[in-house]
């Protein structure tokens, strides 16, 4: 029988960070993962460079960048471990990084820098790491020293604290499972239904046919969904794909989109299209498509005018009504997605362990000694480093709470 102060299941972003901190705070830590490699999602994150946090995060207003049944739940952990704290750690390890747009911080070299940093932190904390190692069963035990017993590939384990850091359901081919949700259910915790988020949207074959040829084309847009108080809007790049739409604009809006709802896209944000087209009509001999190419990618302009014969002519010969309809449709392209690309392509999973059953201070569940951290919790960040910051902050809150309670 192996005995530890803490057993952490899941050696991803949250699990690795929690293990290193808890170990350095004096706890005897076991970190195990069923995958051969650690932190596969860090490896593929940010296009291989890892967008590890975001400077724009305001911990006093977490609802601005996080969603979930209670978007304020993450306030406590995020304000006690901020992006600057993580940046300080990255600097201590000498990892070069840079800011892209909207506060997003990326490594200059490769995501592996961050994995090696987390492994060094685990080393400094004397963490025992078992990989690959699956957990067959978890039980509560009644003993002062140990509250949880685990049956694993490497034998029986007892631990005073059990931390579930198994993440969400996205990208099953690199090790995502529903383990965390099963453990939550086993111990009587509530779950918020899960759904893929930060995910490309798909459209029905026939309705998408006119746009399928635009696959690969990207342009800046304004995108919105929801009505009145529920309305959300992003200004980001849109990417056409063979089956639908992707790119940062669509990934962001997908987290807020509900089946059957339309999304609305302004394909020429900031351009006064009615005014520009009226001006062109008065003085230009060009085709409408050629005029549009001043504000849109030429391929999109060409495909767009194919939708109406009234748009396939010189702008000087077009009716005012046709030009008004064209401007309106470009500024308010409304379309109802058929669905999403699912967990296979989603960057994160929305929903998860219900925050009503967790302490926002410590991430401990209603069940003493049982903690949930990272993406398995019903806290979902925007695109742009917010999900990793939640992983770091929730891991820190949990590690500090376990250390404060003593070995």
Give contact residues for ligand FDA (rule: CB under 6 A): 9-15, 33-35, 39, 41, 44-46, 50-51, 134-135, 165-167, 170-171, 175-177, 179, 347-348, 374-376, 385-388, 391
Ranked by CB distance to ligand FDA, the top (closest) residue is 12
Residue 212: helix, strand or coil by DSSP?
helix
Q: Locate tokens 């939640």: which residue?
A: 390
| Residue (37 or 334) nearer to ligand FDA, CB | 37
d(CA 350, CA 69): 10
Minimal distance, residue 103 CB to ligand FDA, in Å: 12
| Residue (9 or 303) nearer to ligand FDA, CB | 9
| Residue (44 or 271) nearer to ligand FDA, CB | 44
| Residue (39 or 95) nearer to ligand FDA, CB | 39
Minimal distance, residue 285 CB to ligand FDA, in Å: 48
Task: Yes or no: say if 95 and 117 are a contact pair by the CB < 8 Å rule.
Answer: yes
**Per-position b or e across 215-239, b if 16+ CB within 10 A of its CB:** eebbbbbbbbbbeeeeeeebebebb
Q: Which two tokens stand for residue 34?
A: 């069923």
| Residue (20 or 46) nearer to ligand FDA, CB | 46
Three-state DSSP string of 72-85: CCCHHHHHHCCHHH
Task: Yes or no: say if 179 and 9 are a contact pair by the CB < 8 Å rule.
Answer: yes
Per DSSP, which regions of 118-211 are E strands? 128-130, 135-140, 148-152, 155-164, 191-197, 201-202
Minimal distance, residue 262 CB to ligand FDA, in Å: 27
| Residue (245 or 391) nearer to ligand FDA, CB | 391
Backbone phi, psi, residue 122, to 5°: -65, -40
Minimal distance, residue 198 CB to ligand FDA, in Å: 7
Residue (of 10, 17, 1) closest to 145 by Cα position: 1
Per-residue CA distances from 156 to 27, 30, 97, 164, 324 (Å): 19, 12, 42, 17, 72
Minimal distance, residue 136 CB to ligand FDA, in Å: 10
| Residue (268 or 376) nearer to ligand FDA, CB | 376
| Residue (196 or 267) nearer to ligand FDA, CB | 196
Minimal distance, residue 48 CB to ligand FDA, in Å: 9
Cβ neighbour number for residue 149 with a 10 Å cutoff:
18
Minimal distance, residue 105 CB to ligand FDA, in Å: 9
**Dmax over Cα atoms in the chain, in whole Å?**
86
Q: Which two tokens stand for residue 47?
A: 């296009």
Minimal distance, residue 67 CB to ligand FDA, in Å: 13
């Amino acid at each position: 029988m192996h005995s530890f102060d803490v057993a952490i299941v899941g050696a991803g972003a949250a699990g690795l960070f929690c293990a290193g901190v808890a170990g350095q705070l004096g706890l005897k830590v076991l970190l195990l993962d069923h995958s051969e490699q650690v932190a596969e999602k860090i490896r593929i994150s940010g296009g291989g460079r890892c967008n590890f946090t975001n400077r724009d995060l305001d911990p006093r207003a977490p609802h601005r960048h996080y969603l979930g049944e209670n978007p304020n739940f993450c306030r406590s952990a995020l304000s006690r471990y901020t992006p600057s704290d993580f940046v300080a750690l990255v600097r201590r390890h000498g990892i070069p990084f840079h800011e892209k747009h909207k506060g997003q911080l990326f490594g200059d070299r490769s995501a592996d820098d961050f994995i090696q940093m987390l492994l060094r932190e685990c080393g400094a904390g004397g963490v025992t790491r078992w990989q690959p190692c699956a957990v067959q069963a978890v039980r509560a035990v009644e003993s002062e020293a140990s509250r949880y017993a685990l049956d694993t590939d490497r034998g029986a384990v007892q631990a005073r604290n059990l931390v579930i850091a198994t993440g969400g359901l996205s990208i099953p081919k690199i090790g995502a499972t529903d383990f965390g949700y099963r453990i939550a259910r086993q111990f009587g915790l509530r779950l918020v239904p899960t759904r893929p988020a930060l995910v490309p949207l798909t459209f029905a074959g026939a309705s998408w046919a006119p746009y399928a040829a635009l696959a690969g084309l990207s342009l800046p847009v304004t995108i919105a969904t929801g009505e009145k108080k529920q309305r959300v809007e992003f200004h980001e790049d849109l990417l056409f794909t063979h089956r639908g739409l992707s790119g940062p604009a669509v990934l962001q809006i997908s987290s807020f989109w509900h089946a059957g709802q339309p999304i609305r896209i302004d394909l020429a944000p900031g351009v006064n299209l009615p005014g520009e087209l009226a001006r062109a009509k008065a003085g230009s001999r060009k085709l409408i498509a050629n005029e549009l190419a001043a504000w849109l990618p030429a391929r999109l302009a060409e495909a767009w005018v194919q939708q109406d014969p009234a748009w396939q002519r010189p702008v000087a010969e077009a009716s005012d009504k046709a030009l008004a309809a064209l401007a309106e449709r470009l500024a308010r392209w409304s379309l109802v997605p058929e669905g999403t690309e699912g967990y296979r392509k989603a960057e994160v999973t929305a929903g998860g362990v219900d925050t009503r059953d967790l302490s926002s201070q410590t991430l401990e569940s209603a069940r003493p000694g049982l903690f949930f951290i990272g993406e398995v919790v019903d806290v979902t960040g925007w695109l742009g480093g917010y999900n990793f910051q939640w992983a770091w902050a929730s891991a820190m809150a949990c590690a500090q709470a376990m250390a404060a309670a003593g070995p």
